[in-house]
Structure 1
């Protein structure tokens, strides 16, 4: 998606195409993570198995902060579609800034659901996509690396709800203006929900999991990610969180003409 061309960014057809491409990224990140056990030590704050001097948090927090510092220096978080997990830790880029045209309202960066994304990932998604329960100290680094990539892909997908919300607002300003003025969250939810599109997403995920989830040459009966779990992740976590992002964004939208 070309963020230097606002007319293409707020095209709902282009947004849907981008969301479809994100599905592949998320699935392959999950498959990569599925090679390892759950490794609970990676997610526990100040776990003695992973001592981190002068740091309060989990090993994953430590790794993610350092990764985001590096990525911010490469101007990753200047892109409108990227949302940091630790916005207070990122630094200025060493590369020249890109003056992206304004597509979203100025408060868009404050619509940040990454705390929820990370909590759900650790508590709900990891048990579904891991190879098995248990701890393998030799895998800690690989697990954290895979987790970071999966979290970043999930975050980008969920926060793309801001673009969906802006596109829908622009498409029918009178409707959404009325709903926002009345604070009608149920009404907003009703109008941003497209059950037919959501069902297509779930059916597409089933087909992709059936194709991508099995090695076609070796271990044909060993499934690395199941359609059931992938649908559960999207239906119970990804789609609802995306809608939360859309509603949160829309409720403030009238503050900025």
Structure 2
């Protein structure tokens, strides 16, 4: 079974390195559907997994000047408080009840379907955003904080949203920024958010540390390989295949 976890970590790491899509949209469904990990444990373990793997991205993007800390601060202003509120709510419910398990699966399924749309539409949105502002400049700070608040609750509950959804929304809010700056800023924000949410899940007892270590053994070389092969593989087709998988898994979770 450990080899299977290493393989899963490698596959997710490879796709994240190749496409930049957040690991939560891939790892949590794999843990749920292939390895029958309990939903709360899958989410909690994946949050710390994401925090560790994406922390590497901060150094890489930081050196290249791809992080706009103003955007990161605005997102965190909204996301950290709502993450803490969501964790407080989770502390007061029975995470093992069938109703709670079904609710987590439902929201995870919805998040995956929305993420698949974001994956498919990203390039078109980049083209549209370059033609003009979607949101008046005076409303951008408040809209960014609101986006952070939505991501904070969604990521804490499902571990999905910090990647593809965050980048897609930021493209619309900051059309004049380079896509590399958007991606770098989103990754920089995802690290503190997933860390806060992950530590909160640790206090809930919903993290399997042995599983976490095994996944990292596979993901680190996977991310390295995927990043270096991204220029040699037709990413467009990879994104389409990935989106189809996310749609299938999303509907499977919703109607399971």
User: What is the TM-score with the length of structure 2 in the denominator?
Assistant: 0.26
User: What is the TM-score with the length of structure 1 in the denominator?
Assistant: 0.26
Larger radius of gyration, structure 1 or 2? Answer: 1
Structure number with higher relative contact order (C-alpha < 8 Å, ≥ 6 residues apart): 2
